[in-house]
Amino acid sequence: MSETAQIQTPAHSGQGEEREILRLSGYQRFIHLLVVIAFFILTFTGIPLKFHDWAWAKLIIQALGGYEVARYLHRAGAILTFLYIFLYFAEVAYRFIIKREKGLFWGPDSIIPRVEDITHVVQMVIWFLIGGKRPKIDRWAYWEKFDFFAEAWGNFLLGLTGLILWFPAFFTRLLPGFAIGMSTIIHGIEASLAVCFIFFIHFFNAHLRRAKFPMDMVIVTGRMSMQEFEEDRPAELERVKKDNALFWHQVPPASPALAKVGKTVGLILLALGLGISVCITYSVFFDWISRLIRFIS
Amino acid sequence: MKIRGIFYSSLLTLLLPLAVWAQEPADCLSCHGDKELKKDLADGKTQTLFVEQKDYLQSVHGNLSCTSCHTGITASHPQDQPGKVDCGICHAQETEAYKKSIHAQAFEADPSASPDCLRCHGTHQVQKSGSEKYKKTAVDQCGECHADYRRTYFDTYHGKVVSLGETKDMPLCWDCHSAHEILPMADPQSNISKERVLATCLYCHPDANTKFAQYNVHSDKYSYKNDPISFWTYFVMVLIVFFAFGLWVPHTILWFIRDWLENRKKKKNPETKPPAESGGGA
């Protein structure tokens, strides 16, 4: 919120008029950075275990410096995940209890799905099929809400089953023995799903579609150009203008150095993520087809 | 001089058997090194008598003579009847343990259906059982007969890690089932019997408990009969995968096509307002 309060003209942009919309706070971007780091650690140390009989999996483990390294990195990634979950809920609690922010759990600024989202899905599908007008999307698009809850669901499931697999002897004091076998199955499939979902669907929705290609810098800088804001979030812009609050959402552009570093790192991770997702998809399809052939013959 | 001559000749005489002993594998291989060497068996089949010298020399028995195992070979070989190889000459403890096992019982009933020493350890290429080389082939060895157990072993954490090439702290088949005295699960003396399975787990998991030991390590997620819980877990997870991608893959493809169509339209009619796509703040 401190960034919205900066009223002085941007020092480095050279264009006094150029103001951008602050879409993501520094804290939100920091949390997302932790998510990215944890997600990549967990993906590259965990996925090879699920696809152990494939050469690419063995190659990744070798590149990481052996199985022992992967094992400890995976647990470090897990701890980081629990940390960002805690930090996320800490901020939600702060904003709800101390700042008494309205509309955190309801209304157009909330991530919680609304009736409008269903309308947007329908309008979007109509736009896909016959063109015309796109739905007037507010602060959070339905695909972002789905991403959020998919991530939350994945974190819950992977966190729980991961803990069971990490401390099987402790958890079987509470749970029956088959919890270990169930956890193995759930953890592996949910992880593959999460990885492919993030790297195919989330990457396309957020970065790879034509309007954002190859990367939406909003996740690094937190800022969106006015033009893009108008195009992407027309309902939010209308709402903000009606409240005469546009000024409070506008900030000077981010430093070019931050954008440059963010873009370089982002594009490398984008390529790595897509790479491992292609490997997973290929392996899964190959397995299923060979099982199908065996089943028929 | 005479005394010295006697000394040398007697030394030579004493060393002569040693020289023969050392030469012996080469002697045997002069015939058994021939890939075509065969023997006709009573049932009409032929058995190869070829010995790969390299396998033998690299094996843990590479420094033994042929006759240490192949006893009863006389000067009249190959007309003589050499005795069956008895591993018990050196490995008495293991042989005794094996004789109690279900493998030995089944072998007596039908030698083709169950392993003896050679079936698992190999013949001339026998490796030290603790060696990495032997460990890496061990699961496949058991899997030759127990294919389903091999497959489900690789579904577990233990198996996956072994498959990635790390055998250090990970159990192979024999770590739980024991190697020579393998007994069926129903036998209370078995390592995996209800009575003793916890003790087997405790060997590596010092904090294991009864419920921990009830985990069915060979549960088959593809088989409803084998393990309904694993089957349904797998089934529901696959449904979730289909649900997620069933919704979003078409969404992504349609969006991609629409973007492409819109872009083509814009190129055709450049007078409409310029695209707002600035590609972000970079």
CATH number at residue A270: 1.20.950
- For residues B157 and B155, give the distance between their C-alpha atoms in angstroms, rounded to a whole number: 7
- For residues A45 and B144, give the distance between their C-alpha atoms in angstroms, rounded to a whole number: 31
Given a cut of 50, whether residue B101 has pLDDT beyond it is yes
Residues 218 through 277 of chain B touching chain A, CB cutoff 8 Å: 219, 221, 227, 229-230, 233-234, 237-238, 240-241, 244-245, 248-249, 251-252, 254-263, 276-277
Minimal CA–CA distance to B209: which of A179, A152, A216? Answer: A179
- The stretches in chain A having pLDDT less than 70 are 1-17
Please name the amino acid found at residue A78: A
B155-170 burial string, b = 16+ CB within 10 Å, else e? bbbbbbbbbbebbeeb
Residue A32 lies in a domain: yes
Q: Are B282 and A260 in contact (CB under 8 A)?
A: yes
- Structure confidence at residue B271 (pLDDT): 61
pLDDT level of residue B277 (50, 70, 90 thresholds)? very low
Half-sphere exposure at residue B179, Cβ-oriented, CA atoms within 13 angstroms: 15
| Omega of the bond leading into B78 within 30 degrees of 0 (cis) | yes
Given a cut of 70, whether residue B206 has pLDDT beyond it is yes
Q: Cα separations (Å) of A47 from A151, A188, B28?
A: 17, 8, 52
- Structure confidence at residue B282 (pLDDT): 36
Q: What is the mean pLDDT of residues B201-217?
A: 93
Given a cut of 90, whether residue B136 has pLDDT beyond it is no
- Structure confidence at residue A222 (pLDDT): 93
Longest dimension (CA), chain B: 122
- Structure confidence at residue A8 (pLDDT): 46
Residue A287 lies in a domain: yes
Chain A CB contacts of B139 below 8 Å: none
Of chain B, the percentage scoring pLDDT greater than 70 comes to 87
Residue A284 lies in a domain: yes
Chain B CB contacts of A209 below 8 Å: 255-256, 259
Token pair of B80 as six digits = 């003589």
Q: Which is it for the CA torsion A268, A274, A279, A284, positive or negative?
A: positive
Q: H-helix or E-strand containing A98?
A: none
Q: Cα separations (Å) of A284 from A100, A181, A287?
A: 48, 20, 5
Token pair of B37 as six digits = 């060497």
- For residues A150 and B102, give the distance between their C-alpha atoms in angstroms, rounded to a whole number: 51
Q: H-helix or E-strand containing B191?
A: none
Which long-range CB contacts under 8 A does A155-161 form with residues at least 24 apart? A155/A81, A155/A85, A157/A186, A157/A187, A157/A190, A158/A187, A158/A190, A158/A191, A158/A194, A159/A78, A159/A81, A159/A82, A159/A85, A161/A186, A161/A187, A161/A190
Test mutation, A193, A233, A258, chain B, max B CBs within 10 A: A193
- B230-256 pLDDT tens trace: 999 999 999 999 999 999 999 999 999
Name the packing angle between helices A115-130 and B228-268 (round to 10°): 60
Q: Are A57 and A51 in contact (CB under 8 A)?
A: yes
Interface contact B282-A253, CB threshold 8 A = no
Pick the range with the lowest mean pLDDT from A41-55, B188-202, B237-251, B262-276: B262-276
- For residues A148 and A68, give the distance between their C-alpha atoms in angstroms, rounded to a whole number: 32
- Structure confidence at residue B11 (pLDDT): 59
User: Which region holds residue B277: left if phi is over 0, alpha if psi is between -120 and 50, else beta?
Assistant: beta
Chain B CB contacts of A189 below 8 Å: 234, 237-238, 240-241
- For residues B261 and B254, give the distance between their C-alpha atoms in angstroms, rounded to a whole number: 10
Chain A CB contacts of B160 below 8 Å: 49-50, 52
- For residues B12 and A290, give the distance between their C-alpha atoms in angstroms, rounded to a whole number: 67
pLDDT level of residue B67 (50, 70, 90 thresholds)? confident
- B15-59 pLDDT tens trace: 544 444 444 777 888 888 888 888 887 777 888 888 888 888 888
Residue A80 lies in a domain: yes
- For residues B188 and B13, give the distance between their C-alpha atoms in angstroms, rounded to a whole number: 59
pLDDT level of residue B5 (50, 70, 90 thresholds)? low
Residue B92, class by beta-carbon neighbours within 10 Å (0-12 exposed, 13-18 middle, 19+ buried)? exposed
- For residues B109 and B182, give the distance between their C-alpha atoms in angstroms, rounded to a whole number: 17
- For residues B198 and B192, give the distance between their C-alpha atoms in angstroms, rounded to a whole number: 8
Smallest Cβ distance to B281: which of A178, A223, A230? Answer: A223
- Structure confidence at residue B268 (pLDDT): 86
| Omega of the bond leading into A214 within 30 degrees of 0 (cis) | yes
Token pair of A143 as six digits = 């695909």
Residue A151 lies in a domain: yes
- Structure confidence at residue A3 (pLDDT): 45
Name the packing angle between helices A67-93 and A142-166 (round to 10°): 130
Q: What is the mean pLDDT of residues B105-129?
A: 87
- Structure confidence at residue A245 (pLDDT): 86
User: SS3 of A225, please?
Assistant: strand
Residue A47 lies in a domain: yes
- A222-263 pLDDT tens trace: 999 988 999 999 999 999 999 888 888 889 888 899 999 999
Q: What is the mean pLDDT of residues B48-73?
A: 85
Q: By the CB < 8 Å criterion, does B11 face chain A?
A: no
The neighbour count for residue B253, using CB atoms within 10 Å, is 12
Residue A89, class by beta-carbon neighbours within 10 Å (0-12 exposed, 13-18 middle, 19+ buried)? exposed
Q: Are A272 and A40 in contact (CB under 8 A)?
A: yes
Residue A30 lies in a domain: yes
Please name the amino acid found at residue B184: P
ipTM of this complex prediction, to 2 decimal places: 0.90
Residue A157 lies in a domain: yes
Q: Which domain holds residue A88?
A: 26-101+141-221+255-296
Q: By the CB < 8 Å criterion, does B135 face chain A?
A: no
Given a cut of 80, whether residue B209 has pLDDT beyond it is yes
- Structure confidence at residue B84 (pLDDT): 82
Test mutation, A184, A224, A283, chain B, max B CBs within 10 A: A184
Dump strand ranges (E) for chain B. 38-40, 46-48
- For residues A146 and A152, give the distance between their C-alpha atoms in angstroms, rounded to a whole number: 10
- Structure confidence at residue B85 (pLDDT): 87
- Structure confidence at residue B281 (pLDDT): 39
- Structure confidence at residue B12 (pLDDT): 55
Query: Considering its fold, how many domains does chain A have in total?
Result: 1
Minimal CA–CA distance to B275: which of A79, A243, A9, A231? Answer: A231
Contact residues for B105 (Cβ-Cβ < 8 A; gap 6+): B114
- For residues A13 and B281, give the distance between their C-alpha atoms in angstroms, rounded to a whole number: 12
Chain B CB contacts of A290 below 8 Å: none
Give phi and psi for A134, each to the nearest 5. -80, 155
Minimal CA–CA distance to A40: which of A276, A297, A286, A294? Answer: A276
Smallest Cβ distance to A210: which of B163, B205, B277? Answer: B277
- For residues A127 and A120, give the distance between their C-alpha atoms in angstroms, rounded to a whole number: 10
